[in-house]
């Protein structure tokens, strides 16, 4: 079974520039999450999708961050404009409630995109 | 905020058992205990989870106290590849409730 795919793997941009990250979840997983992980900290949830609808975006800085999952499959997270404090690893994860065994295993994470803002 | 407390770091000798503690004194009756680990430059990886009974799989064992206020993850024969940050998380098990909320975890260093 293919895992959660993310791209790019690394990105370096200057502050005030824009950047976008892409995630393709495991096939059939209805729920998709974006997490931000700052160096030395645990991942922090930014947004959760159920199919193409937003379930929780309470931690998403909506003045600069946006995310979409138009067809309920892959997803894009955008930052515009970027700030120095946005330097972090952005992790995508997916899960499925239809297969209880898989759901109880929690989420499957991708390897993340490491963003450096200079 | 994370509902668990873990020591920031631990060392373990290669080949010995690694016992990682976690306190979750405010856990609710319908919340599961999950353990994930994150090896450098990778996303978190599921290890094991449990509700109230002890659990064992090919990776680890999970021991949950009778009052469910704490648990211990046991790696029976630690190898160098088990060096990682280990996260203990409590989460409601069903539906779209209870997202995974990570704390800072325990950085386990397995030494030769």
> Which secondary structure element, helix H or strand E, spans residue A16, and what is its range?
none
Instruction: Please give the Cα distance from A34 to A48 (Å, whole number).
Output: 7
Residues of A with Cβ-Cβ distance to B93 under 8 angstroms: 104
- Per residue, what are the HEC states of B62-106? EEECCCCCEEEEEECCCCHHHCEEEEEEEEECCCCCCCCCCCCCE
Asked if pLDDT for residue B2 goes beyond 90, the answer is no
pLDDT at B93: 57
Closest chain A C-alpha to B63 CA, distance in angstroms: 17
Of A48, A105, A111, which is closest to B43 when you measure between CB atoms?
Answer: A111
Q: What is the pLDDT of residues B20-73, one digit of tens each?
A: 999 999 998 888 899 999 999 899 999 999 988 899 999 999 999 999 999 999
> Which secondary structure element, helix H or strand E, spans residue A100, and what is its range?
helix A100-104
- Report the percent of chain B where pLDDT is more than 90: 71
Measured between CA atoms, the residue of chain B closest to residue A93 is B43
Of A40, A43, A50, which is closest to B44 when you measure between CB atoms?
Answer: A43
Q: What is the pLDDT of residues A13-71, one digit of tens each?
A: 999 999 999 999 998 888 899 999 999 999 999 999 988 899 999 999 999 999 999 88
Residues of B with Cβ-Cβ distance to A108 under 8 angstroms: 46
Least confident segment among A3-7, A105-109, A111-115, B18-22: A105-109
Residue to mutate among B33, B41, B43, B50, with most A CBs inside 10 A, is: B43
């Amino acid at each position: 079974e293919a895992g959660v795919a993310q791209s790019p793997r690394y990105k370096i941009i200057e502050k005030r520039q824009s950047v976008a990250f892409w995630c393709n979840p495991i096939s059939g997983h209805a729920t998709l999450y974006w997490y931000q992980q700052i160096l030395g900290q645990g991942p922090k949830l930014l947004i959760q999708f159920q199919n193409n609808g937003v379930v929780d975006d309470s931690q998403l800085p909506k003045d600069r961050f946006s995310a979409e999952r138009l067809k309920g499959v892959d997803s894009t997270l955008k930052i515009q404009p970027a700030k120095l404090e946005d330097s972090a690893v952005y992790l995508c994860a997916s899960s499925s409630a239809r297969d209880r065994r898989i759901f109880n295993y929690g989420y499957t994470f991708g390897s993340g995109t490491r963003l450096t803002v200079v | 905020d994370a509902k668990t407390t873990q020591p920031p770091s631990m060392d373990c000798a290669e080949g010995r058992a690694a016992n990682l503690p976690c306190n979750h004194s405010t856990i609710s009756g319908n919340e599961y205990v999950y353990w994930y680990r994150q090896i450098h430059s990778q996303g978190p990886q599921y290890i094991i989870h449990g509700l109230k009974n002890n659990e064992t799989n090919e990776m680890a064992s999970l021991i949950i106290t009778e009052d469910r206020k704490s648990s211990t993850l046991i790696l029976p024969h630690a190898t160098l590849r088990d060096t990682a940050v280990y996260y203990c998380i409590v989460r409601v098990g069903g539906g779209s409730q209870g997202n995974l909320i990570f704390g800072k975890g325990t950085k386990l260093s397995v030494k030769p």
